[in-house]
């Protein structure tokens, strides 16, 4: 292992290194651009988890997702411990696995005491196979199939009911299977609280014009229906106001909305024991991003919930939250190999890498911004403004516009920060590119947690018709 050094050069990649790693409890991972273990070694290379990024690329190829176990566990612990410190009632943190669902990530979160939030049969299956107890798995989704609902019933997880069709389907299924049920099916209700946040239109989920959840005006009818369903046990209420949120006021408003709904349910003799306030805490993708810390976010929600319950003379519910991005996003980077360059005088310079929109679709989908460094020359001065382009046959396949970099050469290792959330989970095989590998670094180990797809993998589900007629051109 090569030695590391510290520096504060603000005209190089060194400016992106974490402020300190001596007292991690005071550092909120969502406020850092690079994983907490990021350092520069005496070769002027970026290290993560004690491993030279260029060495990892040499061994595992690129593009490569590099997940820092220490940063991931730190975020889990900060969420878990902050609830214990600030909320006097019972609490549970659920990892929103849609951000990145795989066996290793679910298992690590589970080992830190977190439950798992899933939104499909595939994510449910992954969580179970990772060893998560069903009573700590919460199944979301606005259009669960009957097959998925049956799987959820058989698994024994909590089902977060999103709409009338789902509620009535569940009622029918439980009546059909009443002889096989040992106890009522535990459900929560999701409703839209009517709270908007200043975030991307596609990731606002709390305002009334949203595909998610019951309209709040439907709650009385829903509660009446549930009083007639002895095989469905309503244990809680759920609402989620969006994603990549930096504001705190919406979360304070949400507490009052949720407690009012809890009081309404209790009037129907429905004993609400849990309230899930969703997730949505933002992370720092660029220098201008300034999200609250994990601890501050929890402290604000805890006080708002206690105040709301106290004002209405109601007992404190078990309080749940479901962060995804702020747990996994800052813990991962993606390493690429630099390829071709195209200079367009007085317009821009394109630097192409060996991945792109198939391993990170967020820039082309959400116009998301990222920061980059050249991992094999971290302290080199930033002298060029370039656009980082992917290799796909798509003009919009651009990872970063106007990136400040040192002079690059083909073969350099370029690292995009903050790629743990919605990168692998949204990856595709566009242009028949195999999806990248992922490694977990930490505890002086490197573990391959997702194998790189091969060309054979791309054809694994393909079949040819039994008869193919090839028409030859006539001369």
Instruction: Please give the positions annotated as active site.
Output: 393
Q: Are 63 and 70 in contact (CB under 8 A)?
A: no
Q: Are 389 and 356 in contact (CB under 8 A)?
A: yes
Q: How far is 270 from 263, CA to CA, in rounded Å?
A: 10
Q: Which of 371, 304, 292, 336 is nearest to 33 (CA)?
A: 371
- Would you call 344 helix, strand, or coil by DSSP? strand
CA max distance for the chain: 89
Q: Which of 209, 186, 278, 208 is nearest to 240 (CA)?
A: 278
For residue 5, how many other CB atoms are within 10 A of its CB?
12
Q: Are 31 and 410 in contact (CB under 8 A)?
A: no
Show the CA angle centred on residue 143, arms to residues 138 and 148, nearest 5°: 60
Alpha carbons within 13 angstroms on the beta-carbon side of residue 182 total: 3
Q: Which of 328, 335, 348, 436 is nearest to 101 (CA)?
A: 328
How far is residue 403 from each of residues 361, 380, 390, measured CA to CA in Å? 18, 14, 14
Q: How far is 219 from 128, CA to CA, in rounded Å?
A: 32
Residue with tokens 């066996």: 103
* Residues 6+ away with beta carbon under 8 Å from 81: none
């Amino acid at each position: 292992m090569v030695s590391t050094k510290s520096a504060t050069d603000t005209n190089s990649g060194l400016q992106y290194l974490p402020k300190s790693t001596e007292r991690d409890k005071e550092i909120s991972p969502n406020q850092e651009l690079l994983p907490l273990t990021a350092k520069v070694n005496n070769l002027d290379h970026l290290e993560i988890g004690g491993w030279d990024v260029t060495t990892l690329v040499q061994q595992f190829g690129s593009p490569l997702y590099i997940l820092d176990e220490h940063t991931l566990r730190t975020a889990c612990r900060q969420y878990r411990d902050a609830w214990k410190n600030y909320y006097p009632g019972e609490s549970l943190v659920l990892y929103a696995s849609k951000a990145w669902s795989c066996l290793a990530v679910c298992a690590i979160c589970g080992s830190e005491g977190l439950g798992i939030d899933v939104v499909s049969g595939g994510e449910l299956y992954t969580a179970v196979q990772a060893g998560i107890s069903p009573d700590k798995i919460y199944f979301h989704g606005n259009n669960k199939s009957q097959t998925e609902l049956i799987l959820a019933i058989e698994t024994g997880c909590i089902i977060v009911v999103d709409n009338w069709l789902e509620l009535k389907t569940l009622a029918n299924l439980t009546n059909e299977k009443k002889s096989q049920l040992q106890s009522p099916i535990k459900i929560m209700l999701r409703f839209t609280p009517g709270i908007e946040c200043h975030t991307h239109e596609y990731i606002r989920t709390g305002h009334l014009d949203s595909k998610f959840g019951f309209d709040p005006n439907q709650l009385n009818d829903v509660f009446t229906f549930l009083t007639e369903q002895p095989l469905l046990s309503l244990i809680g209420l759920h609402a989620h106001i969006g994603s990549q949120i930096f504001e705190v006021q919406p979360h304070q408003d949400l507490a009052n909305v949720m407690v009012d709904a809890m009081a309404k349910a209790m009037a129907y003799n429905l004993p609400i024991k849990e309230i899930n306030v969703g997730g949505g805490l933002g992370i720092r993708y660029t220098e201008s991003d300034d999200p609250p810390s994990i601890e501050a976010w929890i402290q604000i929600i805890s006080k708002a919930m206690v105040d709301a319950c106290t004002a209405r003379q109601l007992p404190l519910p078990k309080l749940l939250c479901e962060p995804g991005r702020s747990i996994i996003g800052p813990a991962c980077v993606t390493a690429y190999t630099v390829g071709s360059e195209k200079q367009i005088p007085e317009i821009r310079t394109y630097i192409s890498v060996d991945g792109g929109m198939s391993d990170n679709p967020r820039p082309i989908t959400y116009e998301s911004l990222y920061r980059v460094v050249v991992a094999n020359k971290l302290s080199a001065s930033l002298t060029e403004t370039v656009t980082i382009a992917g290799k796909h046959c798509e003009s919009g396949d651009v990872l970063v516009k106007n990136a400040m970099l040192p002079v690059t050469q083909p073969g350099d290792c370029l690292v995009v920060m903050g790629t743990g959330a919605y990168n692998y989970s949204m990856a595709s095989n566009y242009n028949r590119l195999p999806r990248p590998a992922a490694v977990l670094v930490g505890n002086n180990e490197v573990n391959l947690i997702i194998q790189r797809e091969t060309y054979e993998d791309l054809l694994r589900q393909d079949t040819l018709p039994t008869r193919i007629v090839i028409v030859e051109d006539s001369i």
